[in-house]
């Protein structure tokens, strides 16, 4: 059956430019694809509304409520959910060795995995996140369980069984048994997820996932590149995250991360690389040539990346960019928080941070991004990165949406009735929304979260 959504909406069909449509009708076909986007002034508006009211409208917004596209999180470590907010004062390698790897090792226990993953997926949906690109762990069974939970709860998920096989860098208690087993398990995981996907309306996808270059042998990286090509699947990893990773890769290969990843066939149209703070111009051009995207994780970067990603420069050069939380190197499950920090950190990059320097030498001129640009990254940018038609309300796009209520008691965003221009309303939503303001969330036209 077709369904109809009626209400005022915001989206960004092009980068940094918002469109506001008052009291729109969004007609969605049984597959969850937007078939019509009808404005009040269109001649078929009243007829469509009348028919839909007779059949029962799916969702009709009240005053103070708005539709936003669902958010797309390009970088979540699902097993790190219990660790969120913990131990962030250590450097990345210590944080991984002492905190993260012991936790991830415990997902051998499938019951533990189920408990954590159910809670995480529910939490992300309640934050308005409708599509997620997940790292799981090295364990096939628990990784498949994550895919099943997303399938069941209605979230669109891209899930990777993590590969980390290098004895020199990965601990005995948390490492693939061998390179051959890591590759065989990756192939098995791809087949198992594709089998599961046959009955999942919103989509669940396997992802080839070398953790990062330092944790993998050359043979594993090469083998994973071949598997990605053979099955034409998405690829994810970490790229040039901080000085430590950058230097490690330079010492091992005499090349930067982007060149190394490309040489193993891991940079593809469906590749999303987290962070990339130290991507230079050569690296950026490699990304553009291969249509590889960046998963920008601004909060995580403030802890572990040693630098701010120059989003504006990379976008202008033509690199595809979306946003990620990087749970749990990022301390929040909310892409709203990351969207805000993307703006804040870009401004710090522009102005610079050392007051002892003159304004001219303090920052990187012309680096700031606007809230609307960050909104694009959290929506359409994520869709571009994953190569799926999602992130706006245009005809032909998948209908994932959030219902934001600005007039709830304890977090009223539209009080005083002063700043009521559409852009001002959207800016308030982007900067001030809390989970309580997110009343309902739909994925592929289906209700997956409701606070009403
Ligand atoms: N590099 C390798 N593994 C990780 C991880 O789990 N988190 C982050 N932020 N960086 C990594
Ligand atoms: Fe990460």
Give the contacts of 194 (CB within 8 A, at least 6 positions apart).
Answer: 206
- CA of 301 relative to ligand 1 center, distance in Å: 11
Q: What is the pLDDT of residue 54?
A: 86
Does residue 326 sit in helix, strand or coil? coil
Please report the atom of ligand 1 found closest to the CA of residue 238: 1
pTM above the 0.85 mark? yes
Residue of 241, 302, 303, 324 to mutate, ligand 1, most atoms within 8 A of C-beta: 241
- CA of 243 relative to ligand 2 center, distance in Å: 15
Q: 309 exposed, middle or buried (CB, 10 Å; 0-12, 13-18, 19+)?
A: buried
Residue of 212, 214, 295 to mutate, ligand 1, most atoms within 8 A of C-beta: 212
Segment 348-357 shows an average pLDDT of 97
Segment 307-333 shows an average pLDDT of 98
Question: Within 10 Å of residue 102's Cβ, how many Cβ atoms?
Answer: 13
Q: How confident is the model at residue 2 (pLDDT cuts 50, 70, 90)?
A: confident
Q: What is the pLDDT of residue 56?
A: 74
The whole-chain average pLDDT of the chain stands at: 97
Ligand nearest to the CA of 79: 1
pLDDT in tens, 253-300: 999 999 999 999 999 999 999 999 999 999 999 999 999 999 999 999
Ligand 1 touching residue 326 (CB < 6 A): yes
């Amino acid at each position: 059956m077709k369904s109809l959504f009626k209400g005022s909406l915001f989206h960004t069909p092009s980068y940094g430019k918002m469109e506001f449509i008052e009291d729109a009708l969004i007609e969605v076909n049984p597959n969850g694809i937007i078939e019509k986007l009808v404005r009040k002034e269109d001649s078929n508006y009243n007829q469509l509304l009348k028919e839909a009211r007779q059949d029962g409208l799916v969702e009709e917004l009240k005053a103070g409520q708005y539709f936003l596209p669902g958010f797309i999180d390009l970088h979540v470590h699902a097993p790190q959910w219990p660790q969120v907010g913990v131990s962030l004062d250590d450097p990345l390698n210590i944080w991984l060795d002492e905190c993260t790897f012991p936790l991830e090792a415990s997902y051998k226990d499938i019951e533990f995995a189920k408990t954590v993953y159910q809670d995480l997926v529910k939490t992300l949906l309640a934050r308005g996140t409708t599509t997620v690109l997940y790292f799981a762990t090295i364990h096939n069974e628990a990784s498949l369980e994550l895919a099943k939970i997303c399938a069941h709860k209605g979230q669109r998920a891209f899930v990777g069984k993590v590969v980390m096989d290098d004895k020199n860098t990965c601990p005995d208690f948390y490492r693939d048994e061998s390179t051959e087993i890591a590759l065989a398990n990756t192939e098995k995981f791809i087949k198992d997820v594709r089998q599961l996907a046959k009955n999942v309306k919103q989509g669940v996808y396997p992802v080839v996932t070398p953790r990062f270059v330092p944790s993998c042998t050359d043979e594993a990286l090469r083998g994973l590149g071949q598997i990605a090509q053979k099955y034409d699947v998405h690829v994810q990893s970490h790229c040039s995250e901080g000085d430590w990773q950058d230097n490690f890769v330079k010492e091992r290969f005499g090349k930067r991360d982007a060149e190394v990843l490309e040489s193993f066939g891991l940079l593809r149209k469906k590749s999303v690389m987290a962070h990339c703070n130290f991507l230079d111009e050569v690296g950026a051009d490699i990304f553009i040539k291969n249509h590889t995207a960046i998963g920008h994780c601004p909060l995580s970067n403030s802890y572990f990346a040693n630098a701010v990603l120059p989003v504006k420069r990379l976008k202008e050069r033509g690199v595809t960019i979306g946003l990620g939380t990087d749970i749990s190197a990022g301390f929040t499950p909310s892409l709203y928080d990351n969207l805000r920090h993307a703006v804040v950190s870009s401004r710090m990059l522009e102005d610079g941070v050392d007051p002892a320097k003159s304004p001219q030498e303090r920052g990187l001129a012309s680096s700031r991004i606007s809230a609307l640009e960050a909104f694009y990254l959290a929506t359409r940018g994520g869709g571009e990165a994953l190569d799926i038609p999602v992130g706006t309300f245009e005809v032909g796009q998948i209908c994932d949406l959030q219902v934001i209520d600005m007039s709830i008691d304890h977090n009223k965003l539209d009080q005083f009735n002063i700043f009521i221009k559409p852009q001002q309303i959207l800016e308030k939503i982007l900067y001030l929304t809390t989970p309580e303001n997110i009343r309902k969330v739909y994925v592929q036209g289906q209700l997956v979260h409701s606070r009403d």
